[in-house]
Amino acid sequence: MDDGLQGRSNDFVNYARVYEETFTENIHSISDDPPIMVKEGKHLVFIKTAEDGESEDEPQVFDVTTSLVEGFGGHLGAIITYEDKSEREKLHKNVSKLKDLNTVEELAASAVHEIKNPIFSIRGFLRLLENSLTQDDKRREYTRIMIAELDRLSKLADDFLMLTKSQGKKGDYVFADRILMEVLKFFEPRFDLIGISCHFETGDEIAPVYIDADQLKQVFINIIQNAIDAMPAGGNIYVGVYSKNKDVIIEIKDEGSGIKKEDEGNIFKPFFTTKENGTGLGLFISKRIIRSYRGTIEFKSEEGHGATFIIKIPASSAVVE
Amino acid sequence: MERCKVMVVDDQLWVRTMLLEALSSSGYLTFGAANGREALRMMHMEKPDIALIDMTIPGIDGFALLAHLKDEKPEMATILMSGNSDEDCIRRARKEGACGYLVKPFDMEELKSLLARISTTLDMAARGEVRWTMDSREGQMIS
Ligand SMILES: Nc1ncnc2c1ncn2[C@@H]1O[C@H](COP(=O)(O)OP(=O)(O)OP(=O)(O)O)[C@@H](O)[C@H]1O
Ligand SMILES: [Mg+2]
């Protein structure tokens, strides 16, 4: 224990006095001047720090053990140990509070929020620091790296949140082609910047699929982002949506670097990445989402000749049993 | 117009400090509030042109504060910020008249360009010639 002990001893004496008034059993006088009574044995004691009992403050909790020291003429004194249990009590309370949070999802969402705020303030202060450096200062490279690393952390937090989302449970009847169109619109400025032409093709009658729209959007974002990453010098992306038998099929084809033979078995594994700033969760998350709605996700690729990702989701009429 | 005054509402001290520093170093007049009640009180004294509001402030939350501000000072522009990019939130922000929604951690340049666009339209808003609306998740503003 720390120096809190010193400060507490008065409280403790007061507590002993309280006992003197309320209990008679096992109470011993160990000093007449000043008069001090103690209760022998082991007990839990709560001490309110605030003057008034109305205070919101948590009481301090002590585990008190009192042993009397006997002499020939009676009690010589007492050895009193008291162990501060407040922290443990607090922890206990917090754990019960955590149990109240309905789902892991909610917990993750607030944890991610708590993580992102400091990332945000650090990032902003770094920018300010950077602005105070001259254009040719070598230390600008340091701030650039720090900011990139912070962005990675923040993306990791988002990915983690995505993984905790309840899957396969919540959903709606949605049209994959419309969602895809929204995603492509979102990417448009980036396509322009890198010099990517995106070709979108869709069959006449696309059946609806039963899935969570936000999660499906995330899958498309992950796969198109990968296609962009694979084509730093630009090129073409071909996107197609078709209804076939009882499935809706979405194909996303790029002309990028392709996937190496030896990596083929790994790309869906968590944290597998060949990118300097990659997290390696994009495809893992995508596969989990698609699978939870009883779909599949596959790819065809040849190193140096691009990659095609093929997503199959059962059309909603086929899901109804 | 003269220099724009921005109110930053965020309960996290260092987030608030950072935003205030960044904005004042780029020429904005600024002041901060740690929660909704403080924001409403300070608004009357400081009369900001733009409010930058975190969604998860204690007490009155971001949306409720937005509604209060819209009631009391409809010509003021509001930007919401949040750590999550939940589509429903962004949709709702748009519906309730925010003119931007920024997902933390965003880059200061993003905020500054949004503020610059807003301040050029502020005078018109004061004359009731435009209504604040927003478009896309980055919080583009169309007027
Ligand atoms: N279209 C593609 N072309 C070439 N390689 C790809 C393509 N898509 C995925 N890959 C390979 O698969 C790996 C894993 O992809 P995944 O999306 O899971 O992670 P990542 O893109 O590296 O990181 P992040 O978590 O940021 O998405 C990539 O690092 C890359 O090597
Ligand atoms: Mg990826």
pLDDT (tens digit, 9 = 90+) per residue, B65-89? 999 998 888 889 999 999 888 788 8
> What pLDDT does residue A184 have?
95
Q: Using alpha carbons, select from A221, A145, A149, A208 the residue that is nearest to residue A180.
A: A221
In this structure, the number of other CB atoms found within 10 A of the CB of residue A117 comes to: 20
Residue B134 has pLDDT above 70, yes or no: no
Tokens of A191: 């396509």
DSSP A246: T
- B85-103, pLDDT tens digit by residue? 878 888 899 888 898 999 9
Quote the pLDDT of residue A320: 44
The answer on pLDDT for A260 being more than 90 is yes
Q: Domains in chain B, start-ordered, CATH in brackets?
A: 5-137 (3.40.50.2300)
Any CB–CB contact under 8 A between B104 and chain A? yes
Ligand lying closest to the C-alpha of residue A275: 1
pLDDT digits (tens, 9 = 90+) for A217-243: 999 999 999 999 999 999 999 999 999
Backbone angles phi, psi at A301, to 5 degrees: -160, 155
| Cβ–Cβ contact A116 with B under 8 A | yes
Residues present in chain A in total: 321
pLDDT in tens, B14-27: 999 999 999 999 99
**pLDDT value of residue A14:** 54
For residue B83, the chain A residues in CB contact (below 8 A) are 112-113, 116-117, 120
pLDDT at site B135: 45
- pLDDT attached to residue A171: 82
Ligand 1 closest atom vs CA A256: 3
The pLDDT of residue B33 is 96
Please list every residue in chain A whose beta carbon sits closer than 8 Å to the beta carbon of residue B24: none
A184, A247 contact by CB (below 8 A): no
User: Does ligand 1 lie within 6 Å of residue A278's CB atom?
Assistant: yes
Report the alpha-carbon distance of residue A216 to residue A202 in Å, rounded.
17
**Which residue in the block uniquely carries the two structure tokens 């078709």?**
A242
A218: left (phi over 0), alpha (psi -120 to 50) or beta: alpha
* Closest residue CA from atom 17 of ligand 1: A282
Residues with Cβ within 5 Å of ion ligand 2?
A 226, 282
Instruction: Using pLDDT thresholds of 50, 70 and 90, give the confidence band for residue A53.
Output: very low
Distance from CA of A119 to the nearest CA of B (A): 7
Percent of chain A, pLDDT > 70? 78
The reply to whether residue A186 touches residue B137, judged by beta carbons under 8 angstroms, is yes
What is the predicted pLDDT for the residue at B137? 37
Q: Contact A187/A217 with Cβ under 8 angstroms?
A: no
pLDDT averaged over every residue in chain A:
82
Average pLDDT in chain B: 86
pLDDT: which is higher, A5 or A257: A257
Give residues with Cβ within 8 angstroms of A177, minimum separation 6: A202, A206, A241
d(CA A209, CA A235): 31
Residues of chain B with Cβ-Cβ distance to A113 below 8 Å are 56, 83-84
Contacts of B104 in chain A (CB under 8 A): 116-117, 119-120
The ipTM of this complex is 0.84
Least distant ligand from the CA of A268:
1
The reply to whether residue B19 touches residue A124, judged by beta carbons under 8 angstroms, is yes
Residue closest to A317 by CA, chosen among A212, A219, A245? A245
Q: In this structure, are residues B9 and B65 in contact, taking their beta carbons and an 8 Å threshold? A: yes
Query: How high is the pLDDT of residue A22?
Result: 46
pLDDT value at B133 more than 90? no
The pLDDT, as a whole number, for residue A108 is 83
Has residue B139 got a pLDDT over 50? no
User: Which residues 57-86 on chain B approach chain A with CB closer than 8 angstroms?
Assistant: 83-86
Ligand 1 atom with the smallest distance to the CA of A159 is 25
Q: Which residues pair with A250 in a beta bridge?
A: A241, A311
pLDDT at A187 over 50: yes
- Residue B117 CB contacts under 8 Å (≥ 6 apart), including other chains: B141
Q: Is the CB of A279 under 6 A from ligand 1?
A: yes
pLDDT, tens digit, for every residue of A4-14?
A: 444 445 555 55
Task: Say which residue, B139 or A268, is predicted with more confidence.
Answer: A268
Residue in chain B nearest A132 by alpha carbon: B25
- Which pLDDT belongs to residue B3? 82
- Tell me the three-class secondary structure of chain B, residue by residue: CCCCEEEEECCCHHHHHHHHHHHHHCCCEEEEECCHHHHHHHHHHHCCCEEEEECCCCCCCHHHHHHHHHHHCCCCEEEEEECCCCHHHHHHHHHCCCCCEEECCCCHHHHHHHHHHHHHHHHHHHCCCCCCEEECCCCEEEC
Q: Quick one: pLDDT at residue A240? A: 96
In the structure encoding, which two tokens stand for residue B6, read together? 């921005």
Confidence of residue A102 (pLDDT cuts 50, 70, 90): low
pTM of the model: 0.66
A40 burial (CB, 10 Å; 0-12 / 13-18 / 19+) is middle
